[in-house]
Each structure stands twice: as structure tokens, then as C-alpha cells.
Homo-oligomer: A and B are copies of this chain.
Amino acid sequence: MPTINENFLKLEKNYLFINIAKKVNAFLAENPDAPLIRMGIGDVTLPIAPVCVEAMKKGVEEMGVKETFRGYEDSGAGYDFLKEAIAGYYKKFHVSLELDEIRVNDGAKSDCGNIVDIFGNDNVVLITDPAYPVYVDSNKMSGRTVIYVDSNEANGFAARPDPAVHADLIYLCSPNNPTGSAYTRAQLKEWIDYAKINQAIIIYDAAYEAFITDSDVPHSIYEVEGAKECAIEMCSLSKTAGFTGMRCGYTIVPLALHVTASNREDVSIAQIWGRRQGSKFNGVSYPVQCAAAAVFTDEGLKQIHENIAYYQENAAIIAKTMDELRIQYTGGKNSPYIWLKCPNGMSSWELFDYLLYEIAVVGTPGEGFGKNGEGWFRLTAFGDRDRTIEAMERMKKLISK
């Protein structure tokens, strides 16, 4: 009989958002007419931009005509037209990328989970807590030792490196999911210095970069000196352009990133990652890549920023409500997330049930993101404007009772 990978038995039975979906479905079964407002999962609600629709339809039409049909991509790393568009976008942040440093994927979650394949299982993995569950789960699935550094009230939910602790791989997410905090250039430089001292590699999740408004918060870790020698960056169009149902992201592995194998062989991380992807991934749907490239055109950027501005206004409405209710929070600025302290000493899941059953509002319990999330709660600004206002009205009535 085959053995299974028993690391799986040590995980939580379900991925956080699948648990939440189950609880919500149970509530709806009991209360089929409840006017539910979903502010839980970080999913967008505005449609994709018209330029993306047009570009994708054109791509689909090309697939239906012999002369323009496209089969397998040679590399599976993304078409040059899209990689050039991404490189052009980074130029706006004064970051210069070679096309071979970019690999297009079907979303940041896939690469975030799969990148662990190329590293040894003896590495010490450092994750800020609370964090996106995929960082922890994907490493635990490989049986790796995960150590945590605290993001908490004391540091504004923006963990700093601890020189006394050694790590080989470091996960950072800025602007942060779930806490909404965002590292400044100076703070990221501390992490880069720490990585260099430890000869560690940073896996940097920039999925929320499009929400940055502060000029001292970098959009890419490569805006900070030294990052190209120690950091892999992952980004996604899910939040940038509403691609959660379209599925497209990208991973940047600098060509300068090398490690030494036990036989003293110098190993290029980009090459070994390409080897992994060459055997286990076959590229992103061509019409999806057409839509993705359209995001980075002038008109595309204009259109997606209208959507982002809409969500930012939602975030401001939620933040204002928290101010009125004298509820402490981080985020709401540079981020679509508001990370709030549960009122009246409630636990995360108590507040989850309270809001669900009392006012039919779904949020995400902070505890699902790690121990420092206990007593905290995440609301997202990705909803509809009227529903966001309505949810805040309901919260005001409930909590000021």
C-alpha cells in the first residue's frame, strides 16, 4: 500500500477559507433570506477592465483561426509580449528586469506553494505571524521547520528581523495580508540586511502593491538596494486588476540569485525553478495572457486604477467607522484590508459568529492567520460600495448598543 505524505495529517483539516465557506453555507441553510454581506475572503467584486475584456476576446478569436492559433508555449514561462509589459511596469518603479527573470503563472498562490519544491527540507523557514496560510501550509507539507516572528500591536503588525534568530528562507508580504501594514523602504532594508547576514533568501509577496499610496512604501522589493541578490518576488493580477477568476500572476527570480550545493556546485535559482516548472507546469492560457498584457497599457492602468480607487474609498469608509467605534486597527491605507481588534475582549471566532449571526456580515477571524491574529479580525474593502456602507451601519448599531 502506498504511504501518504504524513505531514498532511499534521495540518489543519481544511484551508481557512474553505472552513469559512462551510460556516457561511451552514448559516445560509438556516437563514436562507439573510441579507448576507461578504467581507471575508479577499475577493474582488468589480468586473475586469474593458481593455482586458477586449484583449481577451481578441485572443480567443485568434485561437479559433488556424493561422493565428497558438498551442504550447515553448517555455511555459509566459509570452514575451506579457513579460515585456511586466518589465515595463517595473520600470515605473525604477526596477530593471530581464525577461528571463520573469515567469508568468496562473496566480501567486500556485507559485507560492510550489516554490518550496526547489529548496531542501532542512531549511529553517521564517514566517511573520499572522500570515497568509499558504506560506505555513506549503512548508509544513514538506515537513520543514517553521519559525515565527511576531507581528503584533507593539510593532504595528509589521514584524522586524531579530538578529538573534537564524533563518534560511524568509516570507514577507507587504502591504501585508492580513494586517494591512506596509513596510517602508527603510524597514525593508533592515530585512535585506538581515537576509544578507544570514545568507537567506526572501520570498516577497507583493500581491497588494497596487494599493500603495505612500511614497516611502516600495511597490517592489527590488526598489531597495541589495534585494536582487537575496529576494524572489511574487505578484498577482488578482487584486491589481480583479483577476481572481481569470488566474494570472508572475514570479521574479533574479538571475543574480545563486546558492552553493553540497558538492560546491554553483546553482542558479532561476534555472532550478525553471526546471521545476518545465516538468510540472505548462504555461498560462493564451487569451488570459492577452488580457494580462492589456492591464499594463496606459489605458489598462487607467481603468484598473479606477477600480482600485473605488476599493480604497471603501477602505476609508471602513476605517472611518472603526474610528467612530473607537476600535483599534491597522491597514485601510496602502491596503484593501482593515485589521481590527475584536471589541469587548471577544476572540476572533466569537466575533466571526457574532457578526454572522447578528448582522449577517462575514469577516475573517484573525486566528486563522496565526497566533498573533487571535483577538483580531480582518475586513476587506473589495465589496460593493452600498453593501460596504450598509455593513458599517449594521456594525455601528450592533457594537455601540
Interface residues in chain A, defined as those with a beta carbon under 8 Å from any beta carbon in chain B: 1-6, 8-9, 11, 13-15, 18, 21, 41, 43-50, 52-53, 56-57, 60-61, 63-66, 69-75, 106-107, 109-110, 112-114, 117-123, 133-134, 137-138, 141, 168-169, 199-201, 242, 244-248, 259-263, 265, 267, 269, 272, 275-276, 278-288, 291
Contact B285 A9 (CB under 8 A): no
Contact flag A288-B286 (CB < 8 Å), given A6-B261, A272-B4:
no
Contact A3 B285 (CB under 8 A): no
What copy number does this chain have within its complex? Answer: 2
Across the interface, A3 reaches (CB within 8 A) one of B63, B259, B276, namely B259
Contact flag A71-B245 (CB < 8 Å), given A61-B57, A279-B133, A285-B288:
yes
Query: Lowest 9 A-B CB distances belong to which pairs?
Result: A113-B280, A3-B120, A53-B64, A1-B199, A15-B278, A43-B71, A71-B244, A2-B168, A47-B69
Across the interface, A262 reaches (CB within 8 A) one of B6, B141, B169, B291, namely B6
Contact B281 A110 (CB under 8 A): yes
Contact B53 A63 (CB under 8 A): yes
Contact A48 B61 (CB under 8 A): no
What's the minimum C-beta distance from A37 to chain B, rounded to whole angstroms? Answer: 15
Contact A72 B141 (CB under 8 A): no
A223 to B288: give the CA distance in the assembly, Å: 35
* A25 (CB) vs chain B CBs: closest residue: B74
